[in-house]
Structure 1
């Protein structure tokens, strides 16, 4: 009387609503395995991202190294021809620009003691071997060589002072490294200078 009627516990049957519908399960399996509109299953996101990635290093390292070497060789050939002909487009970066061209023309127009330094130094070395047994003459040759070195350095200083004034007047600046660029060119034999001098004679000053 005071108790509630408990529902009859009936065993679950295959027709219960909690069990998956065999038809729906078969449809899901068929949907998962069925090819997409492109004729293949839809790939997962991780698979698609991996397929879109490109390797930073080419697979054929030997071929890539050979191609890079050929490109570098071609660039060097272009730069060398430009230094022979004065083609501004293909000159190396350290030789490009109107300021560097002006510095080269100034050095080439001037008679520099530095361009005679190597032949003179070689001559003094030969003299030193000749008078090696004579202490007095050997010391004299060495002192003369030191004197030539000092005079050449002084001439290079005068070169830079005159060039610096001209660069400031014409360009308003003197980039770092220009002094070494000009002095090193002045110490080279004129015929061996690269880029080649624009004039074959001394005394042709840049405007």
Structure 2
């Protein structure tokens, strides 16, 4: 009697893995369990923002809102770049080595002109005091302040007209002196681009 071998004998060579509840699943080298095919949280957030950016607005009202939001973000980025003094984000009037030198030169010294706004506020307040002597004194202080600002601006102009040709003989220097005078009139902490040097620094 001849016994026939089962045709399924070739299938014995192949093992089929059946998942067993509670058993740990093998993870290939370099991979993470439960993480295969899933984006990391940062990537998921980036994808979400990208989809929101390209998603077309539903109506005109939403389009206006999105446009205002983009404009607000762009303004914020420009202000931050100005505070950092990033040359790539500076407007045309602030770009170039001459303007950078002028900013550093003004920021490195004490300027009488930057006291103009605080003194002006004090004078305006004192002008409402119903005392003739105080009102007269405030006007006198304001007059002296104007004289001091004019002298300070004159000294700034003379010194820069002498320094700039020596430092930048081949650069465009037009408007640099006026740029320095206007910057000197601003309070130091309100200047944009923000000061990059400390007072007293040799420029």
TM-score, normalisation: structure 1: 0.59
Rg comparison, structure with higher value:
1
1:159 CA displacement: 1.2
Aligned match of 1:197: 195
**2:137 is the counterpart of 1:147:** no
Q: How does 1:54-203 map to 2 (within 5 A)?
A: 75-130=74-129, 132-134=130-132, 136-172=133-169, 175-199=173-197, 201-203=198-200
Relative to 1, partners in 2 of residues 1:74 and 1:128: Cα closer, same or farther, differing over 3 Å?
closer
Q: How does 1:32-51 map to 2 (within 5 A)?
A: none
Report the Cα distance in structure 2 between the residues aligned to 1:204 and 1:140, rounded to whole angstroms: 36
Report the Cα distance in structure 1 between the residues aligned to 2:168 and 2:65, rounded to whole angstroms: 43
Structure 2 alignment gaps of length 5 or more: 1-59
Q: Which moved more, 1:138-147 or 1:88-97?
A: 138-147
Measured against aligned partners, the alpha-carbon deviations of 1:57-84 in whole angstroms (never above 9, x if no partner) come to xxxxx79999987776555343222111
The aligned length equals: 142
Relative to 1, partners in 2 of residues 1:110 and 1:155: Cα closer, same or farther, differing over 3 Å?
same
Report the Cα distance in structure 2 between the residues aligned to 1:66 and 1:97, rounded to whole angstroms: 36
State the Cα RMSD in Å. 2.6
Measured against aligned partners, the alpha-carbon deviations of 1:71-104 in whole angstroms (never above 9, x if no partner) come to 7655534322211111111111111111110000
Q: Is the 8 A contact 1:167 1:174 kept in 2?
A: no
Relative to 1, partners in 2 of residues 1:175 and 1:83: Cα closer, same or farther, differing over 3 Å?
same
1:133 CA displacement: 4.0
Name the SS of the counterpart of 2:157 in structure 1: helix
Structure 1 alignment gaps of length 5 or more: 1-61
Report the Cα distance in structure 2 between the residues aligned to 1:183 and 1:176, rounded to whole angstroms: 13
Report the Cα distance in structure 2 between the residues aligned to 1:150 and 1:91, rounded to whole angstroms: 33
TM-score, normalisation: structure 2: 0.60
